[in-house]
Structure 1
Amino acid sequence: MISALNRLVDLVEDHLVEEVDVDGLAKALGTTEYHLRRMFSSLAGMPLSEYVRRRRMTLAAADVVRGGDDLLGIAVRHGYGSAEAFGRAFRAVHGAGPGDVRRDGGPLLAQPRLRFRLTVEGSTPMRTRLVDRPAFRLVGHAARVPLVHRGVNPHIQRHIAGLPPEEHVRLKALGDAEPAGLLQVCDDVDPDAREGSELTYLHGVAVSGDTPTPGDLDAIEAPEGTWAVFRTDGPYPDALQSTWAATATEWFPSNPWRLRPGPSVVAVLDRADDFGTATCELWLPVEPA
């Protein structure tokens, strides 16, 4: 995976003013665009699209400061159809317009070229198991919420708090499949996992494929396949979020599996009364790499 990510960085550098064929590269490397984008955003700390934009504007800034060419010519050279569109993208990265930077020499925010390297980590073993599951269904109450990488997601909190206590009892009685208990389900996540991008959050349970779904509940289908299950203990949600990040930095690079499209599921096995600490299982859909 480290080699694949560096090939992706090279491809970006060779096609900064063009559309990057991430899908074509992924196929040539024997992986998927979905997995490649998810691993890039997890390890780089930014979506691929943001990295491309920053690199493009880093090189464009050098042309702006050097002078010689008019701003429209520089805009076209860097893949923009108008000086206005170029100016908006330039300001979003550097915090100042190209005209101001040409006059003042800055401010500039340079994005260095990324290079991924393997480091020796993993001194703490990850408690993981692989589970083959037939198709099942996740049913409950869903809402569209923004993605929050660190800390409690207040939008999810409000969604859960809005459910009456008797609804939790009803959902628990309906669940008849693994993972057991009340579940936190995320689906339709942006492959780049951009902070603030929308996803579908479902608070519900797992049921077998032939269990009838009440008409007033939302449903997410979980296709047949393998799931990597990561167990985590400690402060909630920090320990869970750290484990989620470690799947990209440690587990996937050293195991012959890759993410496949599908929902991610969190099962809370045990928790403190105030939910300050919890024992959880994170279920991720995977396939052989």
Structure 2
Amino acid sequence: MEYLSRLNASIDYLEKNIEDKLNIDEVAKMALTSKFHFQRMFHMVTGVSVAEYVRRRRLTLAAQKLATSDVKVIDVALKYGYQTPESFSKAFSKMHGINPSEVRGQGMDLKAYPRLSFHIQIKGEAVMNYRIVEKEGFKVVGQSKLVTTKEGKNFEIIPKFWDEVNSNGVCRELESRVGEMGILGICMDFCHEKDEFTYVVAAEKLNGDVPNHMIEKEIPASTWAVFESIGPMPTAIQDVIKRIYSEWFPATGYEHAGGPELEVYLPGNPNDPNYKCEVWVPINKK
């Protein structure tokens, strides 16, 4: 209950300051958590970033203002953080399908993005199997792709990237140099302000040079929460990742440590209904 109260307090803060410049540090402070953990948690639970939530709420309120008053479009644009009528009109049209100047017309349809609130939901899900692991830092080699999280595109882009590295021979090459952890899918270099992160299909670097068509990345020493995923890819592991943020973090005294997240793909057929793999999330004790 306390955790939910803190999350709802953060929403209260966002709503009360919706006309001001977004200050993620203050929002995270209301939730008594780190800036990184709050942003990662918010996105995984709601499906949108904090910045995207604020943008949609502002455009919702802007439409209401235009529809119920004779205020000028430029004044509404400035009120909700847009520096020019052009930038406001572009964002407004993308969300509502009409220009701001058309709002006062008869029978115009507008979209409303409601205020969020967090509630307890008893799902009756199966227990989540996990263990805590301490691991020294290590290096990996592989291929990377910049991924956007806007509108949940990451859940589409990453499976397509796996198809690509499976078809171009990269996975076969990685398997020839694989370490004890197997083939890895790594989410790292998160940029919440741009709704982006880097995804790397990789294997541990055991020795030798890095091939020209691959990159080398450092995975820092961390305390990891390691979760078991059972089922065909990519649905099973995506479901586990969502449950980590919506169920496990709120129920424990941990928060995200801010480092890379690992998907550890163990030997077997990833399309098999009993296929096992793991999700490694870096954690801190709050």
Q: TM-score category by the smaller chain?
A: 0.7 to 0.9
Q: 1:157 matched to which residue of 2?
A: 163
Q: 1:201 matched to which residue of 2?
A: 199
Select the residue among 246, 252, 256 that pairs with 2:253: 256
Is the alpha carbon distance of 1:276 and 1:99 closer, same or farther for their aligned partners in structure 2, counting shifts above 3 Å? farther
Q: Describe the SS at the equivalent of 2:154.
A: coil
Q: Describe the SS at the equivalent of 1:236.
A: coil
Give ranges in structure 2 of 5+ residues lacking alignment: none
CA RMSD of aligned residues (A): 2.4
Q: How many residues align?
A: 277
Matching residue's letter, 1:224: A
Give ranges in structure 1 of 5+ residues lacking alignment: none
- Mapping for residues 41-190 of structure 1, pairs under 5 Å: 41-121=43-123, 123-145=125-147, 148-149=154-155, 153-163=159-169, 167-172=173-178, 175=179, 180-190=181-191
Q: Distance in 2 between matches of 1:165 and 1:135?
A: 23
Q: Describe the SS at the equivalent of 1:72.
A: helix
Q: Distance in 2 between matches of 1:144 and 1:54?
A: 24
Q: Distance in 2 between matches of 1:157 and 1:139?
A: 18
Q: 1:282 matched to which residue of 2?
A: 279
Give how far 1:145 is off: 4.7
Deviates more, 1:148-157 or 1:86-95: 148-157
Give how far 1:6 is off: 1.3
Q: Distance in 2 between matches of 1:282 and 1:42?
A: 15
Mapped contact 1:144–1:201 kept (Cα < 8 A): yes
Mapped contact 1:156–1:201 kept (Cα < 8 A): no
Mapped contact 2:233–2:271 kept (Cα < 8 A): yes
Q: Distance in 1 between matches of 2:39 and 2:198?
A: 19
Q: Distance in 2 between matches of 1:54 and 1:149?
A: 21
- Mapping for residues 17-28 of structure 1, pairs under 5 Å: 17-27=19-29
Give how far 1:29 is off: 4.4
Give how far 1:105 is off: 4.6
Is the alpha carbon distance of 1:142 and 1:271 closer, same or farther for their aligned partners in structure 2, counting shifts above 3 Å? same
Q: Distance in 2 between matches of 1:260 and 1:171?
A: 29
After superposition, the C-alpha distances for 1:260-281 in whole angstroms (9 at most, x for unaligned) are: 2222211222433x73442111
Q: 1:7 matched to which residue of 2?
A: 9
After superposition, the C-alpha distances for 1:240-267 in whole angstroms (9 at most, x for unaligned) are: 1100100011100001111122222112
Matching residue's letter, 2:244: T
Q: Distance in 1 between matches of 2:171 and 2:80?
A: 56
Q: Distance in 2 between matches of 1:133 and 1:57?
A: 45
Give how far 1:60 is off: 1.0
Q: Distance in 1 between matches of 2:66 and 2:246?
A: 37
Q: Describe the SS at the equivalent of 1:200.
A: strand
Is the alpha carbon distance of 1:85 and 1:105 closer, same or farther for their aligned partners in structure 2, counting shifts above 3 Å? farther
Mapped contact 1:87–1:97 kept (Cα < 8 A): yes
2:225 is the counterpart of 1:228:
yes
Q: Distance in 1 between matches of 2:114 and 2:85?
A: 25
Mapped contact 2:189–2:260 kept (Cα < 8 A): yes
Give how far 1:106 is off: 2.2
Give how far 1:191 is off: 3.4
Mapped contact 1:186–1:201 kept (Cα < 8 A): yes
Q: 2:239 matched to which residue of 1?
A: 242
- 4+ residue runs over 4 A deviation: none
Mapped contact 1:132–1:225 kept (Cα < 8 A): yes
2:207 is the counterpart of 1:215:
no
Matching residue's letter, 2:199: Y
Q: Distance in 2 between matches of 1:55 and 1:233?
A: 38
Q: Distance in 2 between matches of 1:154 and 1:132?
A: 32
Is the alpha carbon distance of 1:153 and 1:57 closer, same or farther for their aligned partners in structure 2, counting shifts above 3 Å? same
